[in-house]
Structure 1
Amino acid sequence: MSRPIDLARNQIIRLAAPHTLLGISGGADSMALAIAASQLLRDTRFGVVIVDHGLQAGSDRVAQHAASQCAELGFTQVQIKTVSTSGDEASARTARYAAFEQALSESGAQRLLLAHTKDDQAEQVLLGILRGSGTRTLAGIPPIRGRYARPLLELTRADTESICQRAGVDYWEDPSNTDTAYRRNHIRHKVLPFLREQLGGQLTESLARTARLAAADAEALEAWAHQAWEQSRGTQGINLQVLQSFPPAIGSRVLRLAAAEAGARNLSSERTSALCALAGVGTNKSRSAGPVQLDGKISAFRRSSVIVFTTTR
């Protein structure tokens, strides 16, 4: 069986570009990423980006310590980006990725690696189940999305801690990660331990495997949906006769693609269901009279044998 550091290093080799940035927080997962990448500095150009969200007292010291650790590991391009947030998890994520995008643009790097692990993947799958989401959400965290890649998805949190300990690198433990008022932390500290106790110790691996299988299914369905969209779209709108010849799983995806192209944002499952009722896509083939109002000031209408998306004022 491969050692965690070997697995991490091999996955970094597979996913890194000639010029790659590492998103580092100072925690065990990201420091393990830095340790593994530092062993590849001879062949790959790596830079380090540390985002200080300013959410806690002393966050600047944590960022500076992580920067010093990365410099000691041999990284010569280390930058700290301080961002402003509204104090909640969603705004912190938005600010973090904005900082990453800026760093990618400034450096000319082709890829940025993040340190999500198999445990994060298991938590993400459970979150998707609790939301009642579809195949794409159950697919969890993608190994690659655009310029972002996650080489540690086959490692557990225990693996990353082991990598740090063996390398003699200390890591920061974010105190907010123990606050079970956050749903993800509640799943991490309450739900998953209970399920492991009741169902066995392979739960994390099983949930991660579910994500891999769901991801493969989602990719196939999305590819089919794009083909169906090309077949059903016309100059007047989406042809209902063609659209209704596809299974509901494909028809609903076609409607989402068409809505997104029209400018609709944040299409919820409820709005997707309304579009399907408007188009007669589904098991009962019942139709609503419409129109369906969508975010982004977009409306969907049924006009004879087509679905048309228009901008509302």
Structure 2
Amino acid sequence: MRSAPGERAGARRLPETPAVLAVRQAVRSWAEWCAPAGAVAVALSGGADSLALTAAAVVELGTVDALVVDHQLQAGSDAVAADAASAALALGCRSARVLAVQVGRDGGVEAAARQARYAALDDARDGLPVLLGHTLDDQAETVLLGLARGSGGRSIQGMAEWAEPWGRPLLEVRRAQTRQLCVDLGLAPHEDPHNTAPEFTRVRLRTEVLPLLEEVLGGGVAPALARTAAQLRDDGAVLDALAEELLHTASDGATLSIETLATAPQALRRRAIRSWLLTGGAKALTGKHLRAVDELITEWRGQGGVAVGGGQPDSRLVAAREHGRLTLRHERQARSGSEA
């Protein structure tokens, strides 16, 4: 029997239900745009989203390695991870590896688990792109979280379909569709209790805020948020390109021309400043940092430099205005006690 269009020879045949076709089409469209060469890895949690992604990726992309992260935060997590690995092999993955990680507490459990997960996936991917099972619903939640931070358009651009090495083929697929695919294939996804724990902000967005917005605004909120994120990413890409041109014009290799920056539109100037600071070693930049550095250019009153993070134990990284140039350097910090 010949394979269906897009279906790899030897792959498990999938029923042509609406949910299966929607997920497969999403993976196929992503692959046509991103053009991954050879094998890919899939981050598989055992939940419905990543199971659906794995099933479709095996059929549409061919050689797939499954990477299963065990966060070890719950009793029996090792068994859940083992079941996910077995499911991956049954779906036709070339290999399935369980990655046990230790989750810290910095920034809260959600942030620490995410940091540990991405670090483990990056270490284990062996040069392959890693596909993540984020859906349109996840995108909507991400946009709302970014909106609450209030740090401009960049914070509500959401997640990109491709940000090397991370690929997200399902950003136009609804969570209900991945669940239905699992039903159609007879798969039993793991239901992570953390996904319904109200102490997590994202869970409350999912279970309380978005349903309320859907009720008040008459539906379609999640797709609208996802469309907004996509539009902002497109706009942001253009602005970033123009900002890089401005940065090239203003730079002498180490410092920036105040005159050149001062005559540029604010949106481009602040993007150029942000890129320059990050390249110079700045860490954890905030809107407050960018505004303060921008004021060295546009509201100069003789103020001192701006510490932007990214320093060393005995020094801090400081942006300052000197002789018509914007400079970035490490300044030694005064010692405490009698040596201060």
Does structure 2 retain, via aligned residues, the 8 Å contact 1:135–1:217? Answer: no
Does structure 1 retain, via aligned residues, the 8 Å contact 2:246–2:268? Answer: yes
In structure 2, the partner of 1:7 is 22
SS at match of 2:125: helix
In structure 1, the partner of 2:115 is 94
Match of 2:48 among 13, 28, 52: 28
Spell out the pairing of 1:110-121 with structure 2 (5 A cutoff).
Answer: 111-121=129-139
In structure 2, the partner of 1:131 is 149
Counterpart residue identity of residue 64, structure 2: F
Give me the whole-angstrom Cα distance separating, in 1, the residues matched to 2:191 and 2:97: 21
Deviation at 1:73, TM superposition (A): 1.1
Worse overlay, 134-143 or 155-164: 134-143
Counterpart residue identity of residue 98, structure 1: A
SS at match of 1:39: helix
Deviation at 1:70, TM superposition (A): 1.1
**Residues 262-294 of structure 1: per-residue CA shift (max 9 Å, x gap):** 1111111111111111121xxxx4556121011
**Residues 88-132 of structure 1: per-residue CA shift (max 9 Å, x gap):** 111211111111111122xx42x1100000000000111111111
SS at match of 1:242: helix
SS at match of 2:321: strand
In structure 2, the partner of 1:306 is 325
Worse overlay, 225-234 or 287-296: 287-296
Worse overlay, 131-140 or 168-177: 131-140
**Residues 165-186 of structure 1: per-residue CA shift (max 9 Å, x gap):** 1011010111111112211111
Deviation at 1:235, TM superposition (A): 4.8
Structure 1 pair 173/301, CA: closer, same or farther in 2 (3 Å)?
same
Give me the whole-angstrom Cα distance separating, in 1, the residues matched to 2:70 and 2:82: 9
Spell out the pairing of 1:69-218 with structure 2 (5 A cutoff).
Answer: 69-87=87-105, 88-105=109-126, 108-109=127-128, 111-218=129-236
Number of aligned positions between the proteins: 303
Does structure 2 retain, via aligned residues, the 8 Å contact 1:33–1:152? Answer: yes
Deviation at 1:17, TM superposition (A): 3.4
Could you say what the CA RMSD is over the residues aligned between the two structures, in angstroms? 1.6
Does structure 2 retain, via aligned residues, the 8 Å contact 1:112–1:147? Answer: yes
Counterpart residue identity of residue 203, structure 1: V
Gaps of 5+ in 1: none
Give me the whole-angstrom Cα distance separating, in 1, the residues matched to 2:178 and 2:152: 30
SS at match of 2:104: coil
Match of 2:308 among 272, 294, 297: 294
Counterpart residue identity of residue 311, structure 1: H
**Residues 138-196 of structure 1: per-residue CA shift (max 9 Å, x gap):** 11011110111000001011010011110110101111111122111111111001111
Give me the whole-angstrom Cα distance separating, in 1, the residues matched to 2:82 and 2:66: 12
Q: Say which one has the larger Rg.
A: 2
Does structure 2 retain, via aligned residues, the 8 Å contact 1:266–1:295? Answer: yes
Structure 1 pair 249/78, CA: closer, same or farther in 2 (3 Å)?
same
Give me the whole-angstrom Cα distance separating, in 2, the residues matched to 1:235 and 1:36: 47
Give me the whole-angstrom Cα distance separating, in 2, the residues matched to 1:138 and 1:287: 33
Counterpart residue identity of residue 324, structure 2: S
Give me the whole-angstrom Cα distance separating, in 2, the residues matched to 1:164 and 1:267: 41
SS at match of 1:301: strand
TM-score w.r.t. length of structure 2: 0.86
In structure 2, the partner of 1:19 is 39
Worse overlay, 130-139 or 218-227: 130-139
Spell out the pairing of 1:265-280 with structure 2 (5 A cutoff).
Answer: 265-280=283-298
Structure 1 pair 100/135, CA: closer, same or farther in 2 (3 Å)?
same
TM-score w.r.t. length of structure 1: 0.93
Does structure 2 retain, via aligned residues, the 8 Å contact 1:179–1:185? Answer: yes
Does structure 1 retain, via aligned residues, the 8 Å contact 2:147–2:156? Answer: yes
Structure 1 pair 295/74, CA: closer, same or farther in 2 (3 Å)?
same
**Residues 15-39 of structure 1: per-residue CA shift (max 9 Å, x gap):** 4431100000000100111111232
SS at match of 1:312: strand
Does structure 2 retain, via aligned residues, the 8 Å contact 1:236–1:306? Answer: no
Deviation at 1:11, TM superposition (A): 3.1
